[in-house]
Amino acid sequence: MKIILEKLWSLILEYKKSIVFCVAVIGLFLIGFYAMKTIDGVKEDYYDHKYNINSTSLADRDKMTEAQRLKFENDRRDLLNTRGTPIVQEVVRTQYIQGQTPKTVFSEVQHVARGGDSKLISQSTQDKIREKSDETKIIEEEKSVDVYKINHEKVNKFKVGATYLDNKAYLNIGYQHKRSEIIVHTDGLSPKINGATYMWTVYQK
């Protein structure tokens, strides 16, 4: 055993420069790889926040608690029930591509939603995935990846307008919150308030 250790030590001393070089190259490679993975993760988080993208893979669903899974299924059912309405613009269904793993297709859809290009997904589907919306939900299914383009209801609206009545012009400033709306009437550009109107939406479609 002592002879083997001595022989090994002599080899290390003989080739120490080469060994140090190899260790340095491997170390730099690992540092670069880790840095690139970190940068990619930061970029993904940035674009997910910028475009409000929420993704759920099959692996994510396997890790859910019973309560989380129930909420997810209820939310997904609501999305399906409201598709084609002003709230959910459409469902983009990307079928799995022959020769590609489900994980690859899911990652490609995420990449496109974040503004990237894909050689696996058709251009028309990419355009639909990148369409502007308030929120994008990406859900991996057993045989497809579904993309929901969601527009949230705008509950706060600020308005400005004018009224001409009895040969006199009035400046109107309005604020609407959900169904309630209040309009303040002023005498032209004067800060004096001449009146106000309150309205409530009794029916909307």
Q: How many angstroms separate the Cα of 127 from the Cα of each of 13, 104, 121, 160?
A: 61, 19, 10, 35
What pLDDT, in 10s, does the model give residues 51-66? Answer: 778 888 888 889 999 9
DSSP 25-80: HHHHHHHHHHHHHHHHHHHHHHHHHHTTEEEE-HHHHHT--HHHHHHHHHHHHHHH
Kindly list the distances between the CA atom of residue 36 and the CA atoms of 45, 106, 108, 118, in Å, as whole numbers in the listed order: 14, 21, 18, 20
> Pairing mode, if any, of strands 53-56 and 135-140?
parallel
- pLDDT tens across 99-146, in order? 666 677 888 888 888 888 888 888 888 888 888 888 888 888 887 888
pLDDT at residue 41, as a whole number: 46
User: Average pLDDT in the 71-83 region?
Assistant: 81
pTM of the complete model: 0.54
Q: Which pair of structure tokens corresponds to residue 16?
A: 């120490």
